[in-house]
Amino acid sequence: MSLWAIIPVKPLRRGKSRLAGVLTEEERTMLNVTLLENTLRTLKQVKEIDQILVVSRDTGALALAREFKARTVQEGKPGLNTALKRATIVARGFAAQDVMILPADLPLINVEDVQTLIGYLSKPPVVVVAPDRRNDGTNALLVSPAGSIDYMYGVGSFKKHVDQARVKGMRVEVCNLQSFALDLDIPEDLELLNQIQAIKIRS
């Protein structure tokens, strides 16, 4: 098994626009940088991952990725699904057999849960999906073999990825873990993160 983790990254200064009501542009930029660093640092510790690939049109994000010895791909045509398809082609060009798509905005991501997710990869062809806490979006996606399905990120992507995999006759595994369920998109997500961290401190 040759597993590549692909991280799509929006421009660091423009990302998280829906948090503009509670965070300044500088604070949002710093949040994006911190989240990306945390994701890269975590994935570097997962021995099952052979390579990390960051795809972005932000040169700062790509430079940061290279500091963590990750490979990088400059995003071409705009659009997340197009960028991920391009990154997957690059990974397969380096003999990647499996790919794991992870966003850079999962504040609770940890090595153990990533390894749990990877554990579902046995007996391909298989698609492993970790939905967001609303069971709408896709916050982690493993595809084996790489390139077996089209990326369908956007509204309702969780169901779209599951349905497409089943139509293609692939085994589908759904992984429900808090560390993948919480992404930071709206003020409510920040409030929930603060509550979780407060509980951990007390315990």
Per-residue pLDDT reduced to its tens digit, 141-191 = 999 999 999 999 999 999 999 999 999 999 999 999 999 999 887 767 767
Residue 201 confidence (pLDDT): 56
CB 40 within 8 A of CB 24: no
Q: Is the model's pLDDT at 202 over the cut of 80?
A: no
Residue 28 zone, left/alpha/beta (φ > 0; ψ -120 to 50; rest): alpha
Residue 198 confidence (pLDDT): 57
Residue 200 confidence (pLDDT): 56
Q: Which of 147, 153, 152 is nearest to 170 (CA)?
A: 147
Gap between the Cα atoms of 195 and 95, Å rounded: 42
Is 112 exposed, middle or buried (CB count within 10 Å of its CB: 0-12, 13-18, 19+)?
exposed
Coil vs helix vs strand at 202: helix
Per-residue pLDDT reduced to its tens digit, 66-119 = 999 999 999 987 799 999 999 999 999 999 999 999 999 999 999 999 999 999
Domains of the chain: 3-202 (3.90.550.10)
Gap between the Cα atoms of 170 and 149, Å rounded: 10
Answer with the residue of higher pLDDT: 102 or 20: 102
